[in-house]
Chain A
Amino acid sequence: MKITTEFRRGRLTVWLHGELDHHAAKEVIGTICDEIDECLPSSCILDFKGVGFMDSSGIAVILKTYKRMRELNGSLLILNASKQVMRVLEMSGIGKFIGMEEINA
């Protein structure tokens, strides 16, 4: 899985590319947490536009990111989740407390 990040005006944007499964999750969590610790953003965006597949490992990645952002009193937004990703996310009930939007579908 390829991860690219950008930090601008207090906002950390993370673009994920590839398949987010258990094999990829550890590295993704590590990278996101390192970036958050370094930038201390007030908001974080996870852009799923490049994610073709995600299983329950992705739920853990999002929850972990959410917890880190909450510790900083920051916000988290999930962008451009595909139908398959949404179906997995719906199982977790994550949508009740984390914002989700589609921007460039």
Chain B
Amino acid sequence: MKTVNYIKIEIPSKSTNEGLARSIAACFAAQLDPTLEEIGDIKTAVSEAVTNSIVHAYPDEIGKISIRGRIFDDNTLEIVVQDWGRGIKDIEQAMEPMFTTGGDDRSGMGFTIMESFMDKLKVKSAEGKGTTVTMRRRLSFRTGTKR
């Protein structure tokens, strides 16, 4: 697969940036001519990943979050959200639906949504070093559209 376009941005882990991050991802994905539903799914998945970094990676400080996007020549979008925060102790447990170490203002559905809304989800994490979430979604080719 050949990369046809990419984007790299870095944001501080402030909750005001959640909206910014998912909007940038949606704008980047727009060149693949996604459906409204596809755009909604991508925005939701990115929002979950970035929120995880803000809430769990840097609970008591403002840290760095990197968001990288790539578009491959088979109409696949890849989004990588990386932080250098606390890391996840038990990834398997963290990915269980309804599991959360957050308070009752968190639902524990973040990873479940990322997994369901994207085709592929890979989570790499080391305690004290940070977490990298890689997500891919192949978008539908719509009839009558040219790449």
**Complex contacts, B16 vs chain A, CB 8 Å:** 23
Contacts A21-B15, A56-B48, A84-B40 known; list 18 others, CB within 8 Å: A19-B19, A22-B15, A22-B51, A53-B44, A53-B47, A55-B48, A55-B113, A56-B51, A56-B106, A63-B104, A63-B107, A83-B36, A83-B40, A84-B43, A87-B40, A87-B41, A87-B117, A92-B109
Is there a chain B Cβ closer than 8 Å to A42's Cβ?
no
Is there a chain B Cβ closer than 8 Å to A78's Cβ?
no
CB distance from A17 to the nearest CB of B (A): 14
A87 to B40, CA, bound (A): 9
Q: Quick check: A59 and B19 within 8 Å, CB to CB?
A: no
**Complex contacts, B36 vs chain A, CB 8 Å:** 83
Q: Quick check: A23 and B109 within 8 Å, CB to CB?
A: no
Interface residues on B, range: 20 to 34
Q: Quick check: A57 and B40 within 8 Å, CB to CB?
A: no
Q: Quick check: B44 and A83 within 8 Å, CB to CB?
A: no
Is there a chain A Cβ closer than 8 Å to B37's Cβ?
yes
* In-complex Cβ contact of A55 among B51, B97, B116 (8 A): B51
Give residues in A with beta carbon < 8 Å to B: 19, 21-23, 25-26, 29, 53, 55-57, 59-61, 63-64, 83-84, 87-88, 91-92
Q: Quick check: B15 and A83 within 8 Å, CB to CB?
A: no
CB distance from B44 to the nearest CB of A (A): 5
**Complex contacts, B47 vs chain A, CB 8 Å:** 21, 53, 55
Give residues in B with beta carbon < 8 Å to A: 15-16, 18-19, 22, 36-37, 40-41, 43-44, 47-48, 51, 54-55, 97, 104-110, 112-113, 116-117
* In-complex Cβ contact of B19 among A23, A61, A87 (8 A): A23
A77 to B128, CA, bound (A): 43
Give the top 9 A-B pairs by smallest Cβ distance, nearest first. Answer: A23-B15, A84-B40, A59-B107, A56-B109, A55-B47, A60-B107, A22-B51, A56-B107, A21-B18
* In-complex Cβ contact of B44 among A26, A88, A92 (8 A): A88
A94 to B41, CA, bound (A): 19
